[in-house]
Amino acid sequence: IVYGWKIYDYLTEYTRMGLKYSSSESPFRLFTKNEKCGISPTYPQQFIIPRDMSDDDIEECSKFRTKERFAILAYYYKENGASIWRSSQPKEGLWGNENKADQKMMQCISETSPKGKKSKYSFSDPKRDEASLHIFDARSMIAAIGNKITGSGYENIAHYPFAWLQFCNIAHIHPVRESFHRLMEACNDFKTVTSTKWFLTLDKTEWFNHLACILRSANLMAESIRAGRTVLVHCSDGWDRTSQLSCLTQLILDKYYRTIEGFEVLIEKDFLAFGHQFKLRLSHGTENGLYGKDFCPVFIQYLDCVYQITHQFPTIFEFNSKFLADIAFHSMSLQYGTFLGNNTKDRKAIDVKAKTTSLWSHMNSNKEEYKNPLYNPSAPFVDEGTFYPDTILLRMKLWEEVHMKWMRPSLMAQNEAQMSFDTPIDYMMYL
């Protein structure tokens, strides 16, 4: 049996990326002052920050970002030295508050950008092309402006003149939850599934619109990284849409994350270690379940985006759709300890590694079930290891293994009952 709790080690993963953080000449360093999660309760105990940021600077930064989620390194792209950083929204408020430590942090991050070096890419938008730091705010501009009323907001580019800001227009948890409810109702109603208005009903759920918007934003982030611009991504609190975009961009850029082991490491790093609230968002152990006020299938939505990509590029992933479907199921089953709690601090408090089994132990002990027979990591249409998913709704496909999990046996039974063929020719005509 494979011991799943050892699948991810943050220092091993940063080394695999090609990141050199121990050298005094490196622009990065390891921050170790969050051992008791005192500075940022929802962050891991250790993470990578710019070398020029002192420990006091980090404490000041934490005060200017919601939930104390200041910018930390998520991914280093060794092909050109660009990187992905993640945070929460700044506390600019209605009065345009400034924070010198946060400005210094953004300046240091921008200086790690290899803009123009080893890059054959440029942008038609001169502001985007000139900026060394590309900030992707997952929200709409209206939503970000609305958050100013509560004392938060978004980056005022006048305070960060080296940056370019892009709003991604990804819906927040409430519309996504409602969309998911409509999808579940449609997919689990026999009359709806078998009616002539099925596609109209599916369209009204708006589920595919949400997926397409997320994938478009991930494509833009990947373009920036490949062009040698360092990226900062955040939403409101930096643990929902931020995790989706960070993971999908890395999946587009790095073929390691398209392997079984790599995909597990990606989830461990960007969803689990960086504080996506599984307990809260998937309503673990609550009476209201899928109808709780904080429920939102953010992680399921991310897996569905990955499913869409595997459907478009069936040869570049080591794993099959059953692998994704089983992860989706067990993120809610509570059969394994992997997705318990809301963050590293929670899981350490309940000692999940000693008291529960990791989902990866099960999956990696049964790898043959999850292998994609079409896997070809050297697919000729993948440009330098990178690809860009198509985001038009025509290319979106319903993930039946998950959304119709309980309906499929009934549909199969009905089909079998209707299939009575007198001759082999009738059967071939049916096919």
Q: What positions carry a catalytic annotation?
A: 235
Rounded Cα distance between 5 and 183, Å, is: 34
Question: Please, what's the largest Cα pairwise distance for the chain?
Answer: 81
Give the span between the Cα atoms of 147 and 363, in whole angstroms. Answer: 41
Q: Report the relative pairing of strands 230-234 and 82-86 from DSSP bridges.
A: parallel
DSSP one-letter code for 105: H
**For residue 304, which phi and psi values (nearest 5 degrees)?**
-65, -40
Pick the closest to residue 100 from 133, 70, 64 (CA basis): 64
Token output for 292: 């709780």
Strand runs (DSSP E) across 53-114, as ranges? 72-77, 82-86
Pairing mode, if any, of strands 133-137 and 82-86?
A: unpaired
- Do residues 273 and 347 touch, judged by C-beta distance below 8 A? no
Burial of 329 (0-12, 13-18, 19+ CB in 10 A): middle
Q: How far is CA 135 from CA 204, 220, 244, 322, in A?
A: 32, 11, 15, 35
